[in-house]
Each structure stands twice: as structure tokens, then as C-alpha cells.
Chains A and B, each alone.
Chain A
Amino acid sequence: QQPVQSPQAVILREGEDAVINCSSSKALYSVHWYRQKHGEAPVFLMILLKGGEQKGHDKISASFNEKKQQSSLYLTASQLSYSGTYFCGTEIPFGNEKLTFGTGTRLTIIP
């Protein structure tokens, strides 16, 4: 079953912040985040492991709460280049070779 992402779509002005959520019905071992520009392939952003760690990538960071089976991606002071569709990917314990992606969140940044 696919992880569920929210919101499905969001429009921001340049410089505003956004949060994208990813929720799974299964226990998770790790969560991946990818960004896909229109007409291109998804590109890796970061992986988060069990333990509630947070990671950062430029002004993009994420957290992972394995007890709630949820992850959130934080985009701070958004730039035009952040536009695209964001996907979370999940790995489950004892089945981590299977990488399942969420429903996607389309982010549009306007000047």
C-alpha cells in the first residue's frame, strides 16, 4: 500500500515556507525523499532512518517519527527552483529491498 502524502498540491510565493507530510500504515525502517521536475526523472534528496533523526539539504530538511510512521519535509524560504513534485519513498523492516513511493505533492513557487 502506498504511503499517503499531504497536501496533494500547494502554491507558495517565493520566500514562503512549506511542509509536506508522508504517512504510512506500516511500520517503517526508513523514509526517502525525492523531487521530480516536470518531464524529468525523480532525483534523490535525502534518506532518514529510524531514531527520529532530522536531515538537511540546503534549506530543505526533514524529520522521521517511526512511532507514528510519519515523515515531514520542510522547505524554508522557498526558491523558484524548488518547484516540482515531491515524493516520499518508504522501506519496511525485513523487506527493505522493496521501495514504495507515495502519492506525490505538487509544489508551485511563484515570484
Chain B
Amino acid sequence: NAGVTQTPKFRILKIGQSMTLQCTQDMNHNYMYWYRQDPGMGLKLIYYSVGAGITDKGEVPNGYNVSRSTTEDFPLRLELAAPSQTSVYFCASRLTGMNTEAFFGQGTRLTVV
């Protein structure tokens, strides 16, 4: 069972470039999330989705876009990358409903120079 898979693991972008961080899960989870982790700042929610075709903003959505065309995939798009977007990005998923544990991908370390 693969769980939550993120690609790439590492990436260096130049200022102004764009890229898509991929996230896929094989557990048939409806809820999916994108977080960014900066040193000493915890995990901040960027976007989340409760099912295919439904997405909503989290705490720090500016500079990012998401789509959810299938249950399995939840890609995160960075447009016009900025140094402030240098971070470690985690995708997570969990079952529908209350009190279900979240499963995390291994993360993508992104550096914008």
C-alpha cells in the first residue's frame, strides 16, 4: 500500500517560474490537504478538499492554486514563484467524517532563488 505519494522530493525554482507539486493517494480518502512547514512556524494549511471537484482555502492560500478532478489526485500549483514560498510542502489525506487520522506524504522541499 503506497499511501500518500508526493513528487518531486526536492526542487529549486527561479523567481517567477511556475511548477506543480503532485500528490496522489491510494486509500480512497475524500479529504485531502496541502500544508507548508517553515522552521518554527508549524504546519500551515494552504488548501484543502473534501472530494473531487470541491476545494477550499486554508490559512495561507495566496500564490497557490489547486484542483481536484479525481479522488486520488490533489496537485498544488505555484504561479510566479517567490522566495517567500521556499518551504517544505506536505500533502495529507484522511477518510471522510469526524475524528479520522491524517496520513502524510514524505514532503517536497522547495527552494526559490
Contacts and interface: CB of A to CB of B under 8 A. Distances in A.
Contacts of B99: 30, 47, 49, 91, 96
Interface string B78-108: 0000000000001010100011011111110
A84 interface: no
**Looking at chain A's contact residues, is the secondary structure mostly helix, strand, loop, or mixed?**
strand
A42 B58 CA distance: 19
A97 interface: yes
Interface residues of A, number: 27
A57 interface: no
A107 to B, nearest CB: 14
Interface stretch (A12-20, A75-83, A98-106): A98-106
Contact of B101 (A8, A29, A44): A44
A100 B45 CA distance: 6
Interface residues of B, number: 26
Contacts of A2: 42, 44, 59
A101 B42 contact: yes
B98 A29 contact: yes
Given A1-B59, A32-B102, A100-B59, 7 more contacts: A30-B99, A41-B106, A91-B98, A99-B94, A100-B45, A102-B42, A104-B40
Interface of A: 1-2, 5, 8, 29-30, 32, 34, 40-44, 47, 49, 87, 89, 91, 96-104
